[in-house]
Amino acid sequence: MAESLPARVSRIVQATPVHDIHTHLYDPAQGEMLLWGIDELLVYHYLVSEASRQMEMPLEKFWSASKQEQAEHVWKTLFIEHSPVSEACRGILTTLHLLGIEPRKNDLKSLRNWYASQNPQDFINRVMDKANLASICMTNSPFDPMERPTWDRGFDRDPRFVAALRIDPLLVAWPETSVWLREQGYDVSRELSDQTLGEVRRFLADWTARIDSRYCMVSLPPSFTWPADTEIARLIEGAVLPHCREQGQAFALMMGVKRAVNPRLRMAGDGVGLADLNALQALCAAHPENRFLVTCLARENQHELVVLARKFSNLHPFGCWWFTNTPQLIREITTMRLELLGTSFTPQHSDARVLDQVLYKWHHSRSIIADALSEKYVAAAEAGWEVTDTEIQRDVSELLGGGFQRFLSGARQ
Ligand code: FIX
Ligand code: ZN
């Protein structure tokens, strides 16, 4: 019997290597910065915020415990005392399952023993193969005191791990960052004079070259507006956008994060707010020669983002970020994007912080992307347009990173 259209699409989506365009993973040569293993999986901030709702223990006590103890509390709270039905919990189950481990038949001790017996390099290869990843794009911050020394020392790059320059402190904390930049040898002042903006551009160019950055990125709060007489708007106008033009780099804006809504939760304490996409519209209109990669955290921003992308070919929507990385919202957002943009967007990135997470993030997303795409091909077939496998392959390669790379290179979407 001939293979059905959904089966063909699913086969091709599974078999196509993906470029994971935004993660918090690091080159293996950066040592302990690349996290993996069951304890890291369990203390992922997505799980910590869920566990915090049901844990007996006060947060301060949880944070003062060792990483292993924290992992034990999360495991007990979310997997033993309750059923693991949330997306983050399901992620742990899928990850273990794909590694050939039956989670139900193992306790935390045996899971730790299994991980302890893995050779790190083999494990990285196995995870990348199993998730079928062509490349992993890192989030590289010169402002991170742990990360910077790894670049200062230098290391042999793993070509599968590509760099992207993260610049949040530069834009959202200029008073402190201007002091730090001076210490780093850049002749900046607190006032954003031409001289200072020139030095900021020199800093951006230095780090772009140093890490071989593919794009430069920032996450922004809902209060971000543009144009505006604010430090952040002036830095974007006078330093970031000229830098991107000079270096041929796209600028990624991750919009709508409210940092530290509950600081007691530390990294798990960030929230979401509605971003003002008038700012994005103004940026895209005023700077047709710049390219903007954009993801929004609020579900309520998704439709406006897609409509804006129809108006501006220098805008490329990507990913279902963080709180939108749930099956229901991935399905909704991906379908909406296909219906309004065709294939000129990038449906997903993993945002993995722990290497093993790429297994579940891509397993879950690939199946939804395949379903959403099949539905559109079936509709086309009903109207007499039957896609060939070659065409499906072209479209899937486009969606799983090919289109993103073309956008980065400055070619048309
Ligand atoms: O700003 C970001 O890149 C976010 O993805 C992170 O800050 C966040 O903690 C995260 O891991 C979300 O998935
Ligand atoms: Zn991220």
Give the pairing type, strands 18-20 and 161-166.
unpaired
* Spatial CA neighbour of 273 closest among 314, 228, 220: 220
Q: 22 is written with which tokens? A: 């935004």
Determine which residue's CA is closest to atom 12 belonging to ligand 1. Answer: 322
Are 234 and 191 within 8 A, CB to CB?
no
pLDDT of the residue at 82: 97
Instruction: Evaluate: CB of 219 within 6 angstroms of ligand 1.
Output: yes
| Residue 311 Cα to ligand 1 middle (Å) | 28
Q: What are phi and psi of 250, to 5 degrees?
A: -85, 155
Residue 256: left (phi > 0), alpha (psi -120 to 50), or beta? left
The domain locations on the chain are 5-34+134-409
| Residue 286 Cα to ligand 1 middle (Å) | 28
Are 178 and 61 within 8 A, CB to CB?
no
Q: 118 is written with which tokens? A: 């893995």
Is 5-34+134-409 a CATH 1.10.1740.10 domain? no
Are 9 and 389 within 8 A, CB to CB?
no
Q: Is 143 helix (H, G, I), strand (E, B) or coil?
A: coil
Exposed, middle or buried: residue 191 (CB in 10 Å: 0-12, 13-18, 19+)? exposed
Q: What is the mean pLDDT of residues 133-162?
A: 98
- Residue 412 predicted with pLDDT over 80: no
- Residue 1 predicted with pLDDT over 90: no
Determine which residue's CA is closest to atom 2 belonging to ligand 1. Answer: 219
Q: What are phi and psi of 316, to 5 degrees?
A: -125, 105
| Residue 153 Cα to ligand 1 middle (Å) | 26
The residues near 148 (Cβ < 8 Å, ≥ 6 apart) are 141, 142
Please state, in angstroms and rounded to a whole number, the distance separating the CA atoms of residues 178 and 191: 9
Q: 299 is written with which tokens? A: 């579900």
Q: What is the mean pLDDT of residues 275-283?
A: 98
Looking at every residue in the chain, the average pLDDT score rounds to: 98
Largest CA-CA distance found in the chain, in angstroms, rounded: 72
Instruction: Write the DSSP symbol of residue 346.
Output: B
Q: 123 is written with which tokens? A: 């494990």
Paired strand residues for 129: none
- Residue 65 predicted with pLDDT over 80: yes
Q: 238 is written with which tokens? A: 């006078």
Please state, in angstroms and rounded to a whole number, the distance separating the CA atoms of residues 393 and 258: 38
CA-270 nearest atom, ligand 1: 9
Q: What is the mean pLDDT of residues 215-226?
A: 98
Instruction: Evaluate: CB of 354 within 6 angstroms of ligand 1.
Output: no
The residues near 131 (Cβ < 8 Å, ≥ 6 apart) are 18, 358, 359, 362, 363
Determine which residue's CA is closest to atom 13 belonging to ligand 1. Answer: 322
Q: Is the pTM of this model over 0.75?
A: yes
Instruction: Evaluate: CB of 351 within 6 angstroms of ligand 1.
Output: yes
CA-139 nearest atom, ligand 1: 3
Q: What are the tens digits of pLDDT across the range 38-64?
A: 999 999 999 999 999 999 899 999 999
Instruction: Evaluate: CB of 361 within 6 angstroms of ligand 1.
Output: no
Cα separation values, 90 from 87, 326, 359, 374, Å: 5, 11, 12, 25
Pick from 219, 349, 357 the residue to mutate for probing ligand 1's pocket: most ligand atoms within 8 Å of its CB.
219
Cα separation values, 295 from 71, 259, 280, 317, Å: 30, 16, 11, 6
Q: What are the tens digits of pLDDT across the range 297-312?
A: 999 999 999 999 999 9
| 364: number of Cβ within 10 Å | 20
Are 157 and 30 within 8 A, CB to CB?
no
